[in-house]
């Protein structure tokens, strides 16, 4: 009977360690990313790009200048949806529009600068 108790204790300890490791992994991989929220201010980015486009169009002195401004707008329109789709994968979080939020929390991360970078804005 003496040999059985230490083996049982070792087995229980090993099971406890495995359960704790699984819970820690679950917390790091599932729970914490679900609690993190990425916020993007798409309206601000649109306003900035619209201002840039308007400035380029109004200063355009030739058809080539206008075509460059239109190409810039088309490029932005194509890059923005792709960038918005990539953000949740990059941050491993839920991404929402800033205008859809009523408040803030410590789990929120402002991804607007990253989105601006992804669409080629300074």
Q: Rounded to an integer, what distance in angstroms lies between the CA atom of residue 45 and that of residue 68?
A: 20
Split at pLDDT 50, 70, 90, the class of 3 is low
pLDDT value of position 1: 47
What CATH number should be reported for the domain whose range is 32-118? Answer: 3.30.910.20
In this predicted model, what pLDDT tens digit does every residue of 47-74 receive, in sequence order?
Answer: 999 999 999 888 888 989 889 888 999 9
- Domain ranges across the chain: 32-118
In this predicted model, what pLDDT tens digit does every residue of 8-21 receive, in sequence order?
Answer: 888 999 999 999 99
Determine contact, residues 36/91, Cβ cutoff 8 Å.
yes
């Amino acid at each position: 009977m003496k040999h059985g108790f230490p083996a049982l204790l070792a087995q229980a300890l090993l099971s406890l360690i495995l359960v704790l490791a699984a819970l820690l992994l679950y917390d790091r991989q599932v729970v914490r990313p679900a609690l993190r929220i990425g916020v993007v201010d798409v309206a601000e980015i649109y306003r900035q790009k619209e201002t840039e486009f308007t400035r380029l169009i109004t200063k355009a002195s030739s058809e080539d200048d206008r075509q460059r401004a239109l190409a810039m707008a088309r490029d932005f329109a194509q890059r923005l949806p792709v960038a918005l789709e990539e953000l949740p994968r990059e941050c491993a979080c839920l991404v929402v529009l800033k205008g859809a939020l009523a408040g803030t929390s410590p789990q929120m991360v402002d991804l607007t600068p990253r989105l601006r970078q992804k669409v080629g804005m300074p």
